[in-house]
Amino acid sequence: MSESQYKSPSIIDALIPVLALVAMLGTSVWLYGADSSYGANQIALIIAAGIAALIGIKNGHDWKGIEEGIVKGISTALGAILILLAVGSLIGSWILSGTVPTMIYFGLQILNPTFFYVAACIICALVSISIGSSWTTAGTIGVALMGIASGLGLSPEITAGAIISGAYFGDKMSPLSDTTNLAPAVAGTDLFTHIRHMAWTTVPSIILAIIIFLVIGIVQTTPTFDTDLSSTLGVLDKHFNISIWSLIPLFVVLGLAIKKFPAFPTIMIGALVGCVFAFLLQPEGMLVFAGESDHGRFVTQLNAAWTSLFNGFKITTENEAVNDLLSRGGMSSMLNTVWLILCALTFGAVLEKTELLQRLVISALALVHSTGSLIVTVICTCIGTNVVAGDQYIAIVLPGRMYKSEFKRRQLDPKNLSRVLEDSATITSPLIPWNTCGAYMAGTLGVATLAYLPFCFFNLINPVISIIYGLYNFKIEKLEDIQDMENTQKLATSEA
């Protein structure tokens, strides 16, 4: 059957799988709480995908076509899945090599608890702007900051919120970022016009977020950590060779990222460099980690390095907090997150292949009566697509394609659309547990998505500011305004 012979889905068709998913996810959280992402949510997503597939078959699609759509949908995220697995290896090898313990050791002595959340946000923003990747920032600097927060007795949830706020601000404003390049390409504007226009909503959002983190740091009860801090520093110093040389793997990764080297090989190289420095700086620690062995010293150390890559690092000390802090990493630690991502992408792919997602977007246009309502509709559509499709790239591309002609019809400059796409699709992706970004951040930082969500102040504020700008028509530029400005400039040039 050709595409033209498919029966167009009704709005009821489109709503049934979405409402079924919402109901099942709500039941999952009610029954399993924070553990719902360890299997229950995956089942809900797969069942909802099955419901969507049945509706598609009813409308003339065949299973083979739907299955091809699922394979295509999943394939678009294979790069992200490889990055996720590589980050697991990087965390394991960097703990073994002393890279993470060294960052924690120095950070505990330098960072003040009162200003820690602000510092975490700003540090991650600067790193993310430099390398253009919120994921790499969270997987490197973010992991160390989580460890420092634990050592200082600070909230892991607020720390994760500060890390994500800073990382996504930097990612959003960096010309090296993939989403920052994708949004203007979809909308039909150029990269630096997009970044300049985006600053109007993004800069006020990060300023407000920084103020909130500062207030939290000032009003919080500063933990009495002197004794615990000394104990933590002593344990780190006892079990690891704390050295500035341990930070070389970090600089290798940041250098490759700045040079725009692809993310997966960059992080994997960082993990392998971590193994090399484990041999150089932590030879005795490697032997302790590997345990008793009948093999020679080198083979035992090789076993330790290899194990850290696939199964993470484990340590047993007299300090339980340090044990919990440093016993993590490995590709295997990311498998549940990969499972969640695959199920979410399956659901999103079925919705897109059966045209149910497009039907929801088209229906949203019926609500548009003004520029303000158009902006609000695009933002809601992007957030909704993030929820149902589970991927920020789909949430940028699909609404961008669907609303591009409407912006043109209303004589709105395409940079308005590209900004709104980033203010909603990019920013809200880490706030959804089954979205690729939400699953990644939870798996990498070790904090459940719904636990850190209330503290991602930048990500929560940015869409609101974008909506306010749209409703009050502030910094919403029309095509004729741009044309008039260009004509005025040409006239002034000719008269001169």
Q: What is the pLDDT of residue 447?
A: 92
Q: How far apart are the first and last CA of the chain?
A: 65
Q: What is the pLDDT of residue 399?
A: 84
Query: Taking a C-beta distance cutoff of 8 angstroms, is the pair 338, 85 a contact?
Result: yes
Stretch 435-459: mean pLDDT, rounded? 92
What is the pLDDT confidence band of residue 223, given thresholds at 50, 70 and 90?
low
Q: What is the pLDDT of residue 488?
A: 47
Per-residue tokens: 445: 């930082």
CA 227 to chain centre: 35
What is the pLDDT confidence band of residue 120, given thresholds at 50, 70 and 90?
very high
Distance, in Å, from the CA atom of 116 to the CA atom of 3, rounded to the nearest integer, reads 56
Query: Taking a C-beta distance cutoff of 8 angstroms, is the pair 458, 209 a contact?
Result: yes
Distance, in Å, from the CA atom of 333 to the CA atom of 353, rounded to the nearest integer, reads 32
Distance, in Å, from the CA atom of 35 to the CA atom of 328, rounded to the nearest integer, reads 18
In this predicted structure, which of 53-57, 204-208, 301-305, 481-485 has the lowest mean pLDDT? 481-485
What is the pLDDT confidence band of residue 197, given thresholds at 50, 70 and 90?
very high
**166 compared with 225, residue with greater pLDDT:** 166
User: Mean pLDDT across the chain, nearest whole number?
Assistant: 86
Cβ-Cβ contacts under 8 Å for 347 (sequence gap 6 or more)? 17, 21, 45, 46, 48, 49, 52, 388, 389, 390
Tell me the three state secondary structure of residue 478: strand
Query: Taking a C-beta distance cutoff of 8 angstroms, is the pair 267, 86 a contact?
Result: yes
Q: What is the pLDDT of residue 104?
A: 86
**Is the pLDDT score of 408 beyond 60?**
yes
**31 compared with 272, residue with greater pLDDT:** 272
What is the pLDDT confidence band of residue 258, given thresholds at 50, 70 and 90?
confident
Distance, in Å, from the CA atom of 440 to the CA atom of 187, rounded to the nearest integer, reads 27
Q: Where are the domains of the chain?
A: 78-333
**How many other β-carbons are positioned within 10 Å of the β-carbon of residue 262?**
12
Cβ-Cβ contacts under 8 Å for 384 (sequence gap 6 or more)? 360
**Is the pLDDT score of 90 beyond 60?**
yes
Instruction: Tell me the pLDDT tens digit for each residue of 147-164.
Output: 889 888 899 999 999 999
Distance, in Å, from the CA atom of 189 to the CA atom of 183, rounded to the nearest integer, reads 9
